[in-house]
Structure 1
Amino acid sequence: MNIVVLVKHVPDAAGDRRFEPDHTVDRDGVDGLLCELDEYAVEQALRIKEQRADEDTVVTALAVGPDDAEDALRKALQMGADQAVHVNDEAIAGSDAIATSLVLAEAVKKAGDGTVPDLVLAGMASTDGGGGVVPAMLAERLDIPQLTLAAQVETEGARVRIRRDTDAATEVISAAMPLVLSVTDQSGEARYPSFKGIMAAKKKPLQTWDLDDLGIDASLVGPDASRTAVASATARPPRTTGEIVKDEDGSGATALAGFLADKKFI
């Protein structure tokens, strides 16, 4: 069984994230890491491999991004992925989700030796973009089914069944492989790399491809080829000092109740 997991190197959400003058994400001004939501996809890939221990299953982590994206791949290898592929080409910088899905589609097929892998796993969204549309776009480009926003994943033979929790209902749906599967942060806690896994990752293969390796013309990616773009961005306003209610003469409770009433909290 061939499983490809899409991972992304994103700015740390705890850092001071901002845009560049051209409205692309500043990836140098803040530390980066493996997208937390993608960790759940890696975890599900590893669980599927463990459940199908009688099969020859290979888990490949795939990332598109600049040099630092290798750090995300290293983390996936430390968690237990068997090998990794890094698509690194300056022409890709600034690509929107549509252009990125083209690169991913060709990389996924190349990772499958020219055919679509049995399973392509992804997180529900990236923490730097939050669009959540790439899995669907990728399934369209690969012409295979998609099962998205899975809170629970089960495999049986050549089929995958998921449980999807929505505000209105819980859905149980299934499809035959090959398919694209995206999982939510409710699908199962991601494992922490063990010391053994960290040491083993150093010996695992990590390939680097560019657009020429994928047979993609540079004119099809990047800002000029993208159909969407950020028109403007406004920095989050600084936090203001809140109102302090002091209880110096025993009237604090009354003052607090009045404050809450004014804000219509009570």
Structure 2
Amino acid sequence: MNADKLILDGTRVAKSINESLVKRINQLSVRGILPCLATILVGDDPSSETYVRMKSSACKRLGIDSRRIHLNKATTTEELIAVIQQLNEDPQVHGILLQHPVPHHIDERAAFEAIQIEKDVDGVTMLGFAQNAFGMASFPSCTPAAILAILDYYQIPIEGKHAVIVGRSPILGKPVSLMLLNRNATVTICHSKTNNLPLIIGLADIVVAAVGKPAFIQGAWIKEGAVVLDAGYNAGNIGDVDFDACHKKASAITPVPAGIGPVTIATLLKHTVLAAEKSKITT
């Protein structure tokens, strides 16, 4: 597909992924297996509640069981880990997602590490990160995997390209950097301490914005013909990229919303189905 001034439609990519799962879910049903994703929400953050609801709705549309667990914001780290352990031990649960972020008093990393690797469908554990670094992860982090899925769907070359990642979080910036590196891109990781950020972004063939600041990446920073992937989502449906300004110079760009978000959810469902396929216990 021609990437000339192309809007990278995440809804279209997500639909393709979801359609590919229907036959696999039916085959699991013949085996007596109903794929099940358990989502854990701690507290009452409105954005997190929306994300969990969207994931649950997506599961139901495909015939995947969605088990929603909503814990009080006063839940302790120990109590949260106990809930995760119960889900680890439940053979009818194939994937576990702990909605990020959790309240500040909770040790989020400890909670992530409590998730059994076979059920880490969101790719948040350290073992999952290490497997991803070696290109061996069954369940790479969902948003990075979604970014690669969009590039592949639109047949945008990765090998030999210079990718600049703005953001270094352990579930987005770092893993997507490794995934692009494993696909033979030359990767530069930028962050809040990076000097001359506009200059570095101006060298990129592929820009991944994952900084968590609305309209942060400016059109003047990117070079003509760059591919821009906006992984940010801020209040008011605004991404991390100044869309209008960047669109004028980019050869291809993801919108917000309807860009990376829908593909992230579709990837989560794909991982849940794969986890169910790997299971040997029938319901």
Q: Structures share a fold, TM > 0.5?
A: no
Larger Rg: 1
Give the TM bin, normalised by the shorter chain.
0.3 to 0.5
Point out the structure with the larger strand share. Answer: 1
